[in-house]
């Protein structure tokens, strides 16, 4: 293995000029110049109150945040992940940043912002908007606009920013917020609960099949600012929704913190499909800058026969710490996790899922594809837990790692806790590298090295890409190609 690997790296040296020409291009790295308002750096109870006040929140919400903040103070930052993280100075971060002018409707949105989203391929003006996809655009700490609201409202679907939901639909928010990820769940979730500024809210009423894809596009722009978004999706009995989020940030030399919480609730017979294409700025080829991405995502299959499916394509961020999970509470409920995590240069990812089987005959499926290149480190960490009452629970896990070059690392940490003897758990894991044989085979057919690598990587990820909505699968594939530029060659 070692000798084969060094052969690969010899090949790379031979083609160092190709690598130089390509380098890594992060096309979303531009900065939008816009007048901003916000809070100065620092975090105390005053900060929490100020965020709550600027959003015009009711007293119960302020109290909820403060409780979370006090809990957070008692918690240490977790260090169990296979990540090396420089100390984070939580007092040096600004916890709220927003464009100065708050638009009342999409027509009033600052042209500079519209241009930003257009450049990112997400036109917000309805006449130009992506057909069949409603978008909520979150810029730093606030939502700047949501498209197709009228059409969605006609179907009974509520889709708006979290801030608005707290004001307009307090009963629903109060009932479900924190019901899946409690305020004190973990260090980053507690921090998020205290200072979250915006995010998306989705409510699909009983029996409604959401007429279009819903998506949120998160953009970090301001300097020294953390983004703490909070998303809540509730699917009532028998309803269906497919939701996608995308994320980008400008190239900056300092690390920026992104600590999000996403909660999904699926009632009886409901289905939620949640897809992520995460392309936060990963830092440069020397590991300078990039987003620290600490995210808690959890879905609760609260009703019988419900289904929650996570699909993620993670190519960005300097550090990714993320485990989208499903609590399979209802009988015969189904949880799925499909993941492609790609790390290059000095990126670090520790990502995976948790499937908690509580109900009878619950099923879960995990397909994880990790790709490491450069000097990056890529870990899969997953828990499959079957509680006593989960009669006939089934899990299938497939966990594949692909190495490109010899200085990267891939690790797999599967955990299993099974308390019911009728459970069937399967785990398959492979680690492979792009072999010299595969490269030569492609090249001997006329396919150049870089193209051969993208083709092989694309093939490796096929099972996951299949789960993405069509246009996003194309996007994800392109993203991988860009992210791998210079990895071989």
Partner 1 sequence: MLKIENLHARVEGKEILKGLSLTVNAGEVHAIMGPNGAGKSTLGHVLSGREGYEVTAGSVSYHGNDLLALEPEARAAAGVFLAFQYPVEIPGVNNTYFLRAALNAQRKRRGEKELDSMQFLKLVREKIKVMQISDELLHRAVNTGFSGGEKKRNEIFQMAVLEPQLAILDETDSGLDIDALKQVAQGVNLLRSPQRAFLMITHYQRLLDYVVPDFVHVLADGRIVESGDKSLALKLEEHGYSGIGASQPTGAAA
Q: Which is nearer to partner 1, 86 or 437 (CB)?
A: 437
Among 110, 164, 237, 458, binds partner 1 (CB under 8 A): 458
Tokens linked to 263: 């909660």
Q: Give the other-Cβ count within 10 Å of 426's Cβ.
A: 12
Phi, psi of 116 (to 5 degrees): -55, -50
Query: Using CB under 8 A as the criterion, what x/- string covers residues 383-422 for binding partner 1?
Result: ----------------------------------------
The secondary element (H helix, E strand) that includes residue 447 is none
Q: Which is nearer to partner 1, 19 or 160 (CB)?
A: 19
Q: Which is nearer to partner 1, 151 or 463 (CB)?
A: 463
Q: Quick one: which segment of 25-33, 166-174, 450-458, 473-481 binds partner 1 (CB under 8 A)?
A: 450-458
Q: Quick one: which segment of 50-58, 183-191, 407-415, 447-455 binds partner 1 (CB under 8 A)?
A: 447-455
Nearest approach in angstroms of CB 406 to partner 1 is: 15
- Give the Cα separation of 474 and 468 in Å (integer): 9
Q: Quick one: which segment of 5-13, 202-210, 346-354, 382-390 binds partner 1 (CB under 8 A)?
A: 5-13
Residue that is written with structure tokens 């901003």 in the block: 36
The secondary element (H helix, E strand) that includes residue 280 is none
Nearest approach in angstroms of CB 334 to partner 1 is: 24
Dihedral Cα 286, 288, 291, 292, nearest 10 deg:
90
Q: Which is nearer to partner 1, 3 or 286 (CB)?
A: 3
Among 11, 67, 179, 420, binds partner 1 (CB under 8 A): 11
Q: Taking CB under 8 A as the rule, does residue 318 contact partner 1?
A: no
- Give the Cα separation of 347 and 283 in Å (integer): 8
DSSP 184-196: TSSHHHHHHHHH-
Do 267 and 235 form a contact (C-beta atoms < 8 A)? yes
Q: Which of 254, 313, 364 has the alpha carbon at shortest distance from 474?
A: 313
Residues, the chain: 489
Q: Taking CB under 8 A as the rule, does residue 16 contact partner 1?
A: no
Q: Which is nearer to partner 1, 10 or 59 (CB)?
A: 10
- Give the Cα separation of 67 and 250 in Å (integer): 33
Residue that is written with structure tokens 């679907």 in the block: 157
Q: Which is nearer to partner 1, 191 or 340 (CB)?
A: 340
Q: Taking CB under 8 A as the rule, does residue 456 contact partner 1?
A: yes
Dihedral Cα 177, 183, 186, 192, nearest 10 deg:
80
Among 106, 455, 469, 481, binds partner 1 (CB under 8 A): 455
- Find the binding residues for partner 1 in span 459-478 (CB under 8 A): 459-463
Q: Which is nearer to partner 1, 171 or 437 (CB)?
A: 437
Side-chain-facing half-sphere of 307: CA atoms under 13 Å = 16
Tokens linked to 267: 């009632």
Among 100, 440, 474, 478, binds partner 1 (CB under 8 A): 440
Q: Which is nearer to partner 1, 420 or 438 (CB)?
A: 438
Chain positions contacting partner 1, by CB under 8 A: 7, 10-11, 435-438, 440-449, 451, 455-456, 458-463
């Amino acid at each position: 293995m070692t000798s084969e690997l060094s052969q690969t790296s010899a090949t790379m040296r031979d083609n160092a000029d190709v690598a130089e020409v390509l380098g890594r291009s992060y096309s979303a790295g531009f900065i939008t110049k816009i007048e901003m308002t916000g809070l100065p750096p620092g975090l105390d109870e005053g900060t929490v109150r100020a965020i709550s006040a600027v959003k015009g929140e009711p007293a119960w919400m302020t109290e909820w945040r403060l409780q979370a903040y006090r809990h957070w103070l008692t918690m240490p930052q977790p260090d169990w992940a296979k990540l090396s993280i420089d100390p984070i100075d939580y007092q040096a971060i600004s916890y709220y940043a927003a464009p100065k002018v708050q638009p009342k409707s999409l027509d009033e949105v600052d042209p500079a912002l519209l241009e930003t989203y257009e450049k990112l391929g997400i036109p917000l003006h309805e006449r130009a908007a992506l057909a069949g996809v409603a978008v909520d655009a979150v810029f730093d700490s606030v939502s700047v606009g949501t498209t197709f609201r009228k059409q969605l409202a006609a179907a009974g679907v509520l889709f708006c920013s979290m801030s608005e939901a707290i004001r307009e639909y307090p009963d629903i928010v109060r009932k479900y917020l924190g019901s899946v990820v409690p305020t004190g769940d973990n260090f980053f979730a507690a921090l998020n609960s205290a200072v979250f500024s915006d995010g998306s809210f989705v409510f699909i009423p009983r029996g409604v099949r959401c007429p279009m894809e819903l998506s949120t596009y998160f953009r970090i722009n301001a300097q020294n600012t953390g983004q703490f978004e909070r998303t809540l999706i509730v699917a009532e009995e028998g309803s269906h929704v497919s939701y996608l989020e995308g994320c980008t940030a400008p190239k900056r030399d300092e690390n920026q913190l992104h600590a999000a919480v996403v909660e999904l609730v699926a009632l009886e017979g409901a289905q939620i499909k949640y897809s992520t294409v995460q392309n936060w700025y990963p830092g440069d080829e020397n590991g300078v800058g990039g987003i620290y991405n600490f995210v808690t995502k959890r879905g609760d299959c609260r009703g019988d026969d419900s289904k929650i499916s996570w699909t993620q394509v993670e190519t960005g961020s300097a550090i990714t710490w993320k485990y989208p999970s499903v609590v399979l509470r209802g009988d015969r409920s189904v949880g799925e996790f499909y993941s492609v995590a790609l790390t290059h240069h000095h990126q670090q990812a520790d990502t995976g899922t948790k499937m908690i089987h509580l109900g009878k005959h619950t099923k879960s499926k995990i397909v994880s594809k990790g790709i490491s290149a450069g000097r990056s480190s890529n870990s899969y960490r997953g828990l499959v837990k079957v509680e006593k009452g989960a009669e006939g629970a089934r899990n299938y896990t497939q966990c594949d790692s692909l190495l490109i070059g010899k200085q990267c690392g891939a690790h797999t940490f599967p955990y299993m806790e099974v308390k019911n003897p009728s459970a069937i758990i399967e785990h398959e894991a492979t680690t492979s590298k792009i072999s010299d044989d595969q490269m030569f085979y492609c090249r001997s057919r006329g396919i150049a090295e870089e193209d051969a690598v993208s083709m092989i990587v694309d093939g490796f990820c096929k099972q996951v890409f299949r789960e993405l909505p069509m246009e996003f699968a194309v996007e994800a594939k392109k993203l991988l190609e860009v992210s791998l530029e210079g990895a071989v060659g």
